[in-house]
Structure 1
Amino acid sequence: MANQANSDQLVGILRDTVVALVRRDGPDLSARQLGVFLTVYLTDGPHTVRGLAAELNVSKPAITRALDRLGELDLARRKVDPMDRRSVLVQRTLKGASFLRDMRSIMTAAEQTARETVVPEEARKAG
């Protein structure tokens, strides 16, 4: 039962985070775009279209479309690999780093809200 409650809490944090991202001024990313963005920013690179497609188990055109949008928003950029001109590297940007920082703050607030909600609920059940 505790495992279910923890899972529900995590899903609630995700929901609150996504809702906050949608409501605020700024980019509104699809799940795929967010997955690509987070992979680029939270895992060690270098990142390539081919590598991202393999890691996320989606097609290269799907990664390309996500990167097109991330590029429009200046959250990531593509650069031809100087060592292998056939390969394209995905790079982080200052605006992307700022977006990730904002996202961390939003998630931290959502987690705090979830904790405050669970404690009174557990006290009510115990009493």
Structure 2
Amino acid sequence: MANTTQSDQQVSLLRDTVVAMVRRDGPDLSARQLGVFLTCYLQDGAHTVRGLAAHLNVSKPAITRALDRLGELDLARRKVDPLDRRSVLVQRTLKGAAFLRELRSIMGEAATVARTEKSAEIVRAPVSRRASAG
């Protein structure tokens, strides 16, 4: 039951974050675009189209389409690898770093609201239920 509750809370946090992202003025990213973006920004090291495709288990054309959109939004850019001209490196941008900060802020706010709601729910719960929740 505790795992289900924790999973439900995580899914609710994801929902609240996605809803907040959709409501604000800014780019809407698909799940694939967001996955590519977060992989590039949260995992250290150089990222290539080939490497991202392997890591995310999707085709190189799918990564290319996601990068096309991220490039249009200036959230990432592609550059030919000077050491291997057949390879394309994905670079972070200042706008992408700002987008990640905004995403973290939105998630933090959603998590705070969720904790506040959970605390209020525990306070409102009958004494017998409160004892089993702790």
TM-score, L = length of structure 2: 0.92
User: What is the aligned partner in structure 1 of residue 101 from structure 2?
Assistant: 101
The sequence identity of aligned pairs, in percent, is 76
> SS state of the match for residue 91, structure 1?
strand
Tell me the CA shift for residue 13 of structure 1: 0.7
The root-mean-square deviation of aligned C-alpha atoms, in Å, is 0.8
Alignment of 1:1-127 (within 5 A): 1-127=1-127
4+ long deviations beyond 3 Å = none
Q: Within 2, Cα distance between the matches of 1:3 and 1:121?
A: 19
Q: Which runs of 5+ in 1 are unaligned?
A: none
| CA offset digits 1:1-36 (Å, max 9, x no partner) | 222111111111100100011110010000000000
Of 113-122 and 19-28, more deviation after overlay is shown by: 113-122
Tell me the CA shift for residue 125 of structure 1: 2.5
Q: Within 2, Cα distance between the matches of 1:32 and 1:126?
A: 43
Q: Which runs of 5+ in 2 are unaligned?
A: 128-134
Structure index of larger Rg: 2
TM-score, L = length of structure 1: 0.97
Which AA in structure 2 matches 1:48? Answer: T
> SS state of the match for residue 17, structure 2?
helix
Q: Within 2, Cα distance between the matches of 1:56 and 1:122?
A: 39
Task: Figure out how many residues of one structure are paired with residues of the other and give that number.
Answer: 127
Which AA in structure 1 matches 2:123? Answer: A
